[in-house]
Structure 1
């Protein structure tokens, strides 16, 4: 039963959450006080398309070197994008890192997956640091750095007693989310601050009951750049934290009232997983915080996702009915906010259904992208959505 549930969890997090909030812009400072929002599962649904003011589309160039599927862990560069994909999970292709310019033209790709000292075994975290491609690989707890051409620069291993789920640079050190992994094999904390040598400086939010011994591999980042610090999230949590100026504070709370599965439950255990389907409550959340809006989704039992758009200025919450497409996943993959627009990865097969519901004056194409090019390619399309 445990293995079955764990396999299902990996599947739904990969398919439903994708990479959350990778390219969020700076939020408005006066909105950064802690706030709680009620995500009511009984709210009437509003059609997603009816909430759209305009969209902009960009096709990722399809070449023999750049055949893509679902985009994951996307990073916005000054002159484009870097990411890896869900293509052929469990194979070398899943470990390939792609570079595209700001108009979707393919630049290059690198793949240093392997078991050698200069190779990563997996990609849990991906970011650009001092112009270098940086990969954190959880199995060996190693941070690798490469040039954009794929040449190995260096690697650093975390201390043996410290293994983290996600990690990002912060000032002259790093901030990490622990992903139910212990510190020194005994103490369990949610987050940690490491110095420049990757040694533990501080640990935050200790919990008493040791969770299930298995860490949860998820498809989205839980440590996200945020203003002068980072935003911290954690799977199976309803609260987002901000770590700024060496202080940790709650930022946003998603309140599902009696429909939150973990309200009266301990940390994840094998016994608890057997109740997820039966209780059919919200139990895992994805989110992205923008200047004006927060986009959030929640998995309800094992049955379906619920989607919400929160106005940070007014506190108003809208429950959204998302469009269903022709693709296997039948979902958008949202990637984060750029200023006041939310970025999605959409399959080519789904684009006509979206565009047919909009007026021509609501549709824009990035330089080099046309509807004809989109329809002739199998690569995913980036869609920036501005809400009314």
Structure 2
């Protein structure tokens, strides 16, 4: 069987090859002590909606300049949000950067897409850095920076032969996930700390065997701000790392036991990926780590996703049955935690089924958002979900 790359690009949502770790959770004294959580595919499913304590909905204003497709990555500003959207067939709107205020009112968009020296050809990562909009574009391995009005400030190219999957600022430099690219001609590492000039300061976790150099274009950032540092993910991995206080350490491990495809296999190769469908095991994981909970999803072969909610302190795990709306698999995306609430990007088509299963007392609307506006707009909206305690 040949791999259908278009299918893989659609399905992949995160991360990389397995490391086997063990930990005695009783010895862990804080949430940042390394823990391993068992995600049992045989747990009974509990309805996602039944696990909700409350939701808050916010509609992104629909104007001629803000017709949005799926939101997969979002940055929180002090007074709102900045993001780019998924690609629409036949359109380049995914190369625009949108600004909305904290109530979802459209403010502006900027677009510096092009082939010129001040223009990006794609957006693999987007963040705010010292009040500037920073865009990492993988094809040329360049970080571009603009004012929030779209004026070009500067661009910085990574050294020749250095390409990264995800990158974010850290202190006076950057931390990067390598996405199976080599550090140089012969060395392959999973992560790297770069200095202020984008040169490799220190690589981390060298591959014992050389993987196939295969860049995976994924929907989620693999480097995410976390406390005073960053969380680090890799494609096809069940282990999450944290880079804080100038040190890299494993943060947590999601243990699928015998259902983990990469458990007894060496580094990923295209030959091994041919076996994913036949073995029908978990082979890629997505997750969002909050102050109290972890939301995780796992792709089983090419057949379906499994969803879990994990209590970080007591280790309790619930397997969730997600809503079966019109587009839940493709467009019901988690965007990250805000304190104890998980943000989702939801289509208007999915909203009625969710709300109909809740009491009115559980539903809140952000200022300017109403059910009537939601039903009359095609723009996605943000839904903040607060879950009930897992020990109930």
Instruction: Tell me what 2:74 maps to.
Output: 74
Q: What residue is the counterpart of 2:12 in the other structure?
A: 13
| Aligned-pair CA distance for 1:329 | 4.1
Q: Contact 1:182/1:189 (CA < 8 Å) preserved in 2?
A: yes
TM-score for the superposition, normalised by structure 1 = 0.94
Q: Secondary structure at the match of 2:275?
A: helix
Q: 1:290 to 1:89 in 2, by over 3 A?
A: farther
Q: Could you tell me which residue of structure 2 aligns to residue 320 of structure 1? A: 320
Deviation at 1:13, TM superposition (A): 2.2
Q: Does the CA-based 8 Å contact 1:323-1:331 persist in structure 2?
A: no
Cα distance in structure 2, aligned partners of 1:207 and 1:366: 48
* Aligned counterparts, 1:265-276, within 5 A: 265-276=265-276
- Kept after mapping to 2: 8 A contact 1:324/1:331: no
Q: Judging changes above 3 Å, is the alpha-carbon distance between structure 1 residues 31 and 90 closer, same or farther for their aligned structure 2 residues?
A: farther
For residue 348 of structure 1, give the secondary structure of its aligned residue in structure 2.
coil
Q: How does 1:268-347 map to 2 (within 5 A)?
A: 268-327=268-327, 329=329, 332-347=332-347
Q: How far is the alpha carbon of 1:73 from its aligned partner?
A: 1.8
CA–CA separation in structure 2 for the residues paired with 1:5 and 1:180: 19
Asked if 1:230 is matched to 2:217, the reply is no
Q: 1:190 aligns to what?
A: 190
Alignment of 1:1-388 (within 5 A): 2=2, 4-13=3-12, 30-88=30-88, 91-327=91-327, 329=329, 332-388=332-388
Count, aligned residues: 375
Deviations 1:129-156 (A, max 9, x none): 0111100011100000011111111000
> What's 1:22 paired with?
none
CA distance in 1, matches of 2:308, 2:329: 19
- Contact 2:285–2:299, Cα closer than 8 Å, also in 1: yes
Name the structure 1 match of 2:23: none
TM-superposed CA distance for 1:224, in Å, is 0.5
Partner residue in 1 for 2:21? none
Deviates more, 1:108-117 or 1:264-273: 264-273
CA distance in 1, matches of 2:286, 2:120: 27
Q: CA deviation at 1:361?
A: 0.2
Q: CA deviation at 1:114?
A: 1.0
- Please report the RMSD computed on the Cα atoms of aligned residues, expressed in angstroms: 1.5
1:355 aligns to what SS in structure 2? helix
* 1:214 to partner: Cα distance: 1.9
For 2:188 and 2:146, the matched residues in 1 are separated by 32
**Structure 1: how far apart are the matches of 2:89 and 2:148?**
23
Of the structure 1 ranges 210-219 and 122-131, higher mean CA displacement relative to structure 2 is found in 210-219
Decide whether the 8 Å contact of 2:125 with 2:137 is kept in 1.
yes
Seen in structure 2, the aligned counterparts of structure 1 residues 54 and 313 have a Cα distance that, compared at 3 Å, is same
Asked if 2 retains the 8 angstrom alpha-carbon contact of 1:286 and 1:296, the reply is yes
Verify the 8 A CA contact 2:344 2:383 in the aligned structure 1: yes
Cα distance between partner residues in 1 of 2:186 and 2:333 = 37
SS state at 1:139 partner = coil
Q: Is the 8 A contact 1:5 1:273 kept in 2?
A: no
Distance 1:329 1:318, change over 3 A: closer
Q: Which position in structure 1 is the counterpart of 2:25?
A: none
Q: Which runs of 5+ in 1 are unaligned?
A: 18-28
- 1:215 is paired with a residue of what secondary structure? coil
Secondary structure of 1:264's counterpart equals coil
Q: CA deviation at 1:72?
A: 2.3
Q: Residue in 2 aligned with 1:25?
A: none
Mean alpha-carbon deviation: is it higher for 208-217 or for 146-155?
A: 208-217
C-alpha distance in 2 between matches for 1:225 and 1:213:
26
Q: TM-score, normalised by structure 2?
A: 0.93
1:110–1:150 CA contact under 8 A, matched in 2: yes
CA distance in 1, matches of 2:226, 2:270: 34
SS of equivalent to 1:291: coil
Q: CA deviation at 1:7?
A: 2.1
